[in-house]
Amino acid sequence: MQQIPTCASCPFKWPERICRRPGGKHPENCPTVLKKDLTRKVYALLKERGLFELAKQSAIQEGEGYTNKDKGYEYLRPIKPRIQEIWEFAGKMGYKRLGLAFCIGLRAEAKVTEALLKEKGFEVASVACKVGCVPKEEFGLRDDQKIAPGSFESICNPVLQALILNEVKTELNILLGLCVGHDTIFLEFSEAPCTVLAVKDRVLAHNPLAAIYNINSYYRWLKKD
Ligand code: SF4
């Protein structure tokens, strides 16, 4: 029977694991040990799909995210917010035209993001989720399934967001606050590679990890039925 990987519950301390250092420890179902055939394919796959440079530059970007490297691992300090990492990465890749696919609920944040990226020298095409003004009824929704029953509601349209950005040939699409599921669809239709500036979490100010960090205190109820 095929064993599924469970890295998230790996029993060994991070510095001791085989994916951290050659010859390290590993559980029976460790993909580093069991998937050497797939590991060998990665380089060729990236080359084949023209993504090798992207893989290289994103790893360089990761390494540049810290200071105090000369003092040793214990002293490493992260120095760059994600938005900076995005524009630096886009610059490294030589991208000139960026796409911003945003949720209308984050229109203020989108405006600032667009201005900031323009200031950094990029051309920015931005498309809001409600683009097209297609009524939810066209997708088979009943009135009581709307956010505000009794009124007109246009459906979030991630397919159209992606198609419009595809048409203007953006080189990197940045997702800002798209809903769960809408982001899934956007990623399916985007021709350009994508990255995420922020995800939607209406309750936690778009910081979904707050619930995870507090899972044994204020959010312990999430573990109950
Ligand atoms: S790759 Fe292996 S050693 Fe690394 S986290 Fe996964 S199971 Fe653990």
Beta bridge partners of residue 100, listed in sequence order: 126, 174
Per-domain residue ranges of the chain: 36-80, 95-225
Q: 86: exposed, middle or buried (C-beta count within 10 Å: 0-12, 13-18, 19+)?
A: buried
Return the ligand 1 atom nearest residue 25 CA: 3
Cβ neighbours of residue 29 under 8 Å, at least 6 residues apart?
3, 4, 5, 6
Report which protein residue has its CA nearest ligand 1's atom 8.
10
Which region holds residue 68: left if phi is over 0, alpha if psi is between -120 and 50, else beta?
left
Under CATH, to which class is 95-225 assigned?
alpha beta
Tell me the best of 16, 30, 36, 38 to mutate to test the pocket of ligand 1, counting ligand atoms within 8 Å of each CB and taking the most. Answer: 30
Token pair listed for 222: 């999430």
The CB of 19 under 6 Å from ligand 1? The reply is yes
CA of 38 from ligand 1 middle (Å) equals 15
Cβ pair 216, 199 in contact under 8 A: no
Spatial separation of the C-alpha atoms in residues 25 and 23, rounded to whole Å: 7
The CB of 34 under 6 Å from ligand 1? The reply is no
- Report pLDDT digits (tens) over 85-117: 999 999 999 999 999 999 999 999 999 999 999
CA of 214 from ligand 1 middle (Å) equals 25
pLDDT of residue 61: 98
Token pair listed for 212: 């995870």
Per-residue pLDDT of the chain (225 residues; tens, 9 = 90+): 778 999 999 999 999 999 999 999 999 999 999 999 999 999 999 999 999 999 999 999 999 999 999 999 999 999 999 999 999 999 999 999 999 999 999 999 999 999 999 999 999 999 999 999 999 999 999 999 999 999 999 999 999 999 999 999 999 999 999 999 999 999 999 999 999 999 999 999 999 999 999 999 999 999 998
Spatial separation of the C-alpha atoms in residues 223 and 225, rounded to whole Å: 7
Cβ pair 172, 98 in contact under 8 A: yes
Q: 202: exposed, middle or buried (C-beta count within 10 Å: 0-12, 13-18, 19+)?
A: exposed
